[in-house]
Amino acid sequence: MSEWNAVLYDQKHHFVSKFGEHLVDLLSPQKGESILDLGCGTGDLAYEISKYETIVHGMDASKTMIQQAQTKYPEIQFTVQDATQAFVHQQFDAVFSNAALHWMKSPKAVVQHVYDALKPNGRFVAEMGGDGNISSIVTAMKASMEELGLPYIESYFPWYFPTEEEYSELLQRAGFRIEMITLYDRPTPLVGENGIQNWLHMFSNSIFQDLTASEKEEVCRLCVRKLKPQLYQNNTWVADYRRLRFVAIKREG
């Protein structure tokens, strides 16, 4: 996909980090631990983890996200890197990831690299989009493009939304012991009256990559009309998020 708009992300999509704060509690960072924030975005949760007097390393494939993170939190080390490539050689006590793994469409490689980056008994604590995530939004995008005579290309779908069973198998095959894993509905309020338009502009560039600017706007307008009866509640847009959350431990030896 094209580079992320880090400013729009911080201004209109800060709910991503806000919901991730509960995941930090599950991580339970300990003083002196070395922790990798995988897919750290603009660094807000890496900063939250650093408050526990940990040594945090933030990693993201997006240059613009990392630039924004370094500007906001110069005291934290951030690296631009694709998670499908082998990580830095340092071994970590924990790998943390919030709302990022579903953007990584080579999950077997990512899970293996996380395993390799952890110390024995190190923990992998993460939450991602799971099976059924944003299903109404995806359906509306497909229907809107079809109605406008625009091609919807399946290979442009930028996400990987696994079932609980599918991801459990990936983790276990890599050598992890699963402490907990759960797939759950998490309706997510979006920011402002234009919440769904902002969401589409932020996250759907890959699907819309062959469209002109005016075609994108047409698709977005039609999506809004189709989604309003389902997702606009009490003057707020609420996205139909479904999340997969887990804690997995690297086996010794």
Q: What is the pLDDT of residues 78-110, one digit of tens each?
A: 999 999 988 876 799 999 999 999 999 999 999
CA distance linking residue 174 with residue 93, whole number of Å: 17
Please give the C-alpha separations between residue 38 and each of 60, 193, 202, 223, in angstroms, as whole numbers: 6, 31, 20, 31
Tell whether the model's pLDDT for residue 2 goes beyond 90: no
CA distance linking residue 156 with residue 137, whole number of Å: 15
The answer regarding whether domain 6-250 maps to CATH 2.40.30.10 reads no
The percent of residues above 70 in pLDDT, for the chain, comes to 91
Enter the pTM of the model. Answer: 0.90
Strand order in the sheet with 77-80: 77-80, 55-60, 34-38, 92-98, 118-129, 242-250, 176-185
Structure tokens belonging to residue 235? 């003057």
Please give the C-alpha separations between residue 47 and each of 50, 64, 92, 250, in angstroms, as whole numbers: 5, 17, 17, 25
DSSP assignment of 50-73 equals HTTS-EEEEEES-HHHHHHHHHH-
In this predicted structure, what is the pLDDT of residue 123? 98
